[in-house]
Chains A and B, each alone.
Chain A
Amino acid sequence: MNDGIAIELDDIVKSFGDVNAVDHVSMQIRDGEFFSMLGPSGCGKTTTLRMIAGFEFPTSGRLKIHGKEMGNTPPYRRPVNTVFQSYALFPHMTVAQNVAFGLEMKRVPKEQIKERVQKALELVRLPTFGDRYPRQMSGGQQQRVALARALVNEPEVLLLDEPLGALDQKLRKEMQFELKRIQEELGITFIFVTHDQEEALTMSDRIAVMNAGRVLQIGTPTEIYERPNCRFVADFIGESNFIEGTVRASNGQYATIETSDGLEMQGYTEQPVSVGSSVVLSLRPEKARLSTVNGNNSQKHEANTFPAKVERVSYIGSDTRIIVRLASGRTIDVWEQNTRSTLDRDAYWQPGEAAILSCSVENALILTS
């Protein structure tokens, strides 16, 4: 029965009134995987998670957990547990009582409960907090209790609904590592919902990027970042310069396009594009290069090399972010890492300076629009 697939969504639709909050979503989540659903608020990620948990039922489509059709199964009979965004700790129970709740519902013998609760609290590094009430703890600690309360039931899949959303930046980073550690230690499938791309990239084995109820792309963090399959994904994860244009020539993975402002650019594409179709070229700012104009103009003959003028420079410590304007009037963002430690003004770009913008063909991704 176990074919390595923990959760299978098959053409799931969830509509509220006339609106499809989840619109024909299919995906397979593997056993032991740290899987993230990433997207802006209202993209359907939380609704999808709630359907897996059983708080909502799909309007159509099938949902299986470890091969078992879930259909009408209420949440309390599903082998999954949830960590809520607001933690949803029971305020009238102590931490230990909170963690024990799920086991009591399963009628686990008393001594065993005590032992397992203690183990769960140790797992989240709160072994001595059992007698406290949730309100006596910090947000980060409450977060850990919520985690322990879910994990103590040994769910087949753990669902996490933006669990780090309410924490401050520093605590967040800490909890990201903590979650990853626990997931690796226990080897359970985690399904993690977030709108924070950095969080998703750091922790996930695979990410599903969602927008407007649909899954746009599923892939590893590297795949999602380096090979986005559409403009939305490229835009939502990281930053990008988008240049619209029309395909002039195509040879398998490479194509030449004419941009809307009359430049000729070459780019890389995963799917072959037909000549004459309109596309958008995505160039990550850190992958664009800026060089000084020197006497011999040999670069000019290479592909994707354009004369430019530096327009604005913002120094942000690790990087310098530069906006350059091309002859055609188009502006492009370029990020340069500050690899040298110096106060010398000349080491940095100055507004008004002339420069050469270039990028390798592999870094200019052609996306069909």
Chain B
Amino acid sequence: MAIETVPPPASHEALSQQRRARERLKVFGLVFPGLFWLTFFFALPLVVIFIYSFLTPGPRGDVVWIFTFDNYARLFTESLFVNAYIRSIWLGILTTVICLIIGYPLAVFIAQAPPRWRTILLFMVLIPFWTNFLVRTYAWMIILQNNGLINWIVTSLGFPRLSLMNTQTAVLIGLVYGELPFMVLPLYASIDRFDFTLMQAASDLGASKFRAFTRVMLPLTMPGIAAGSVLVFIPTVGQFVVSDLLGGAKVDMLGNLLQRLFTRANPPNWPLGSALALMFMLVLMILIVFYFRSTTEDDR
């Protein structure tokens, strides 16, 4: 190999500048495509709805460039929106709590299984997580519908038909079913790291099983609980497929309102929809930041 001629000894500044320039070029080349794409097709769209949220809806579903705060004012005054907000957040909290109650024992069970089984058990949680949300929701429609599986069993036993579809319970079942894997995976990750001999240490020091759990295991697995809760809560609140299919028009969540405002209303009202979407995002972000801050401080 011909060793290339070494550049004449230049000053250190010049050399390191050369090096830095070359590195900057590399970084730019690597960062640019992603930054470009996300700026144009992620950040800019958010800016567009931000602008729309201050405009006036036109008569044919278009926007009129007249600045107004009306859209935001309506969000806080009309009961339709306020109720949807409250219901969405309420369902979000319920779903999160139920997932936690079901998911925690499952995660402990998996973490304590023999290593060979652990992979398989975890994998079995993973499979529904990778399957289409729509398909999973549809599966519940088959079970819950008026002439569906449950009613077939109920009527063949001679009982009257139950009306299960289009209720809040149906929506809740669908939501828990859809989001459970998002809870189990992070929970498993932190329970797996938990040293179960600590529980023995606690009982050795006189703690009952319940106290050992609340004082030792729960705080130490808090990061998993926090991550799982956020992962469940966000998509739940924004849901519209589950509430649409299992709740009919009777259990309106924010997602359903948004969909209607943007596509189905006659005429569509994009400025109002934009305001609703942005407020929704803002509230969620605040909740998440608040939640993470409080849990991570506990952790330290």
- Interface of A with B (CB < 8 Å)? 57-60, 62, 68-73, 77, 79, 105-107
Q: How many inter-chain residue pairs (CB < 8 Å) link A and B?
A: 28
- Interface of B with A (CB < 8 Å)? 1, 3-4, 6-7, 9-10, 12, 15-16, 18-19
Cβ–Cβ < 8 Å partners of A59 in chain B: 12
Q: Which of A60, A79, A106, A107 contacts B12 (CB 8 A)?
A: A60
Cβ–Cβ < 8 Å partners of A62 in chain B: 9
Top 6 A-B pairs, shortest CB-CB distance: A106-B1, A72-B15, A69-B9, A60-B12, A71-B15, A71-B9
Pairwise interchain contact B12-A70, C-beta atoms closer than 8 A = no
Instruction: Please name the residue on chain A nearest to B12 by beta carbon.
Output: A60
Instruction: Please name the residue on chain B nearest to A107 by beta carbon.
Output: B1
Q: How many Å from the CB of A112 to the closest CB on chain B?
A: 13
Which of the listed residues B4, B9, B18 has the most CB atoms from chain A within 10 Å of its own CB? Answer: B9
Q: How many Å from the CB of A310 to the closest CB on chain B?
A: 44
Cβ–Cβ < 8 Å partners of A69 in chain B: 6, 9
Pairwise interchain contact B19-A77, C-beta atoms closer than 8 A = no
Instruction: Please name the residue on chain B nearest to A69 by beta carbon.
Output: B9
Pairwise interchain contact B4-A57, C-beta atoms closer than 8 A = no
Cβ–Cβ < 8 Å partners of B3 in chain A: 77, 79
Q: How many Å from the CB of B233 to the closest CB on chain A?
A: 40
Pairwise interchain contact A71-B6, C-beta atoms closer than 8 A = yes
Cβ–Cβ < 8 Å partners of A60 in chain B: 12
Instruction: Please name the residue on chain B nearest to A106 by beta carbon.
Output: B1
Cβ–Cβ < 8 Å partners of A71 in chain B: 6-7, 9-10, 15
Pairwise interchain contact B18-A72, C-beta atoms closer than 8 A = yes
Q: How many Å from the CB of A60 to the closest CB on chain B?
A: 5
Pairwise interchain contact A72-B4, C-beta atoms closer than 8 A = no
Cβ–Cβ < 8 Å partners of B10 in chain A: 71-72
Pairwise interchain contact B4-A58, C-beta atoms closer than 8 A = no
Pairwise interchain contact B15-A57, C-beta atoms closer than 8 A = yes
Report the bound CA distance from A62 to B18 in whole Å.
17
Q: Which of A58, A73, A107 contacts B6 (CB 8 A)?
A: A73
Q: Which of B4, B12, B16, B18 contacts A77 (CB 8 A)?
A: B4
Instruction: Please name the residue on chain B nearest to A105 by beta carbon.
Output: B1
Pairwise interchain contact A68-B6, C-beta atoms closer than 8 A = yes
Report the bound CA distance from A35 to B9 in whole Å.
27
Pairwise interchain contact A72-B1, C-beta atoms closer than 8 A = no
